[in-house]
């Protein structure tokens, strides 16, 4: 069985992620990371990204995560730790971050770059009330990404859709090695990855971020009450 678990990189879901892995006891745990980002997380890298836009994203994520008593990506480290505890293999399934960044820098139209930079700067000065409202929408409305990226088609294709395809195919390949897989991915990627896998005839279960935070659980993790 393949189980997709949607997480938010700033919400402090470490305990929930570990419980899911311990209960399902998979043979492989997939993480939405590439080798470079995984090593940076493990080493606690705190330097700034040389790209100004990605630096803005990191600063905003750090600001939100601090409000939740967490650090961005801590749920991935928790998943890796739980994987080792249950004897599962860790598989990094995301595309090399350098490929994604290079494609964005090379293919992103000037108009989209301006929109992203302006949006990134504005979020740094957003009120706590506005941030909380937007976080609630992100957790509960799948249409949020569509709305956010309606004027950013190239950005959406490179950062979301291409990576959805990449991760879905990696999960498919790994499923030939072990039938019990848990994939920890950003909740915004879940609908796309789920659709691709189902279209290819893959049976799977899905645990969304909102399910975890609202205490809704599948039968397979019913032993735990989040």
User: Domains in the chain and their CATH numbers?
Assistant: 2-47+69-108+154-221 (3.40.50)
pLDDT > 80? residue 138: no
113 or 134: whose pLDDT is higher?
113
The reported pLDDT for the residue numbered 172 is 96
Between 122-126, 190-194, 221-225, the lowest mean confidence (pLDDT) is in 221-225
Confidence of residue 115 (pLDDT cuts 50, 70, 90): confident
In three-state form (DSSP H/G/I as H, E/B as E, the rest C), the secondary structure along the chain is: CEEEEEECCCCCCHHHHHHHHHHHCCCEEEECCCHHHHHHHHCCCCCCCCCHHHHHHHHHHHHHHHHCCCCCCHHHHHHHHHHHHHCCEEEECCCCHHHHHHHHHHHCCHHHHHHHHHHHHHHHCCCHHHHHHHHHHHHHCCHHHHHHCCCCHHHHHHHHHHHHHHHHHHHHHHHCCCCCEEEEEEHHHHHHHHHHHHHCCCCEEEECHHHHHCCCCCHHHCCCCC
pLDDT tens-digit series, residues 184-217: 999 889 999 999 999 999 999 999 988 887 665 5
- What pTM was estimated for this model as a whole? 0.81
């Amino acid at each position: 069985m393949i189980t997709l678990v949607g997480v938010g990189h700033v919400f402090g879901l470490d305990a929930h992620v570990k419980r899911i892995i311990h209960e399902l006891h998979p043979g492989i745990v997939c993480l939405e990371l590439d080798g470079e980002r995984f090593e940076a997380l493990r080493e606690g890298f705190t330097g700034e990204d040389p790209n100004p836009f990605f630096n803005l994203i990191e600063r905003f994520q750090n600001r939100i995560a601090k409000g939740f008593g967490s650090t961005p990506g801590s749920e991935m480290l928790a998943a890796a730790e739980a994987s080792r505890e249950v004897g599962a293999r860790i598989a990094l399934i995301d595309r090399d971050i350098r490929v994604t960044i290079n494609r964005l820098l090379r293919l992103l139209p000037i108009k989209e770059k301006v929109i992203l930079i302006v949006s990134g700067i504005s979020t740094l000065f957003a009120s706590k009330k506005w941030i909380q409202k937007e976080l609630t929408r992100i957790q509960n409305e799948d249409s949020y990404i569509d709305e956010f990226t309606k004027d950013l088609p190239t950005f959406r294709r490179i950062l979301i859709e291409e990576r959805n395809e990449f991760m879905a195919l990696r999960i498919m390949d790994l499923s030939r090695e072990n039938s019990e897989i848990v994939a920890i991915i950003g909740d915004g990627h879940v609908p796309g990855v789920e659709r691709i896998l189902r279209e290819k005839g893959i049976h799977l279960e899905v645990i969304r971020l909102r399910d975890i935070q609202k205490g809704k659980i599948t039968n397979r993790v019913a032993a735990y009450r989040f």
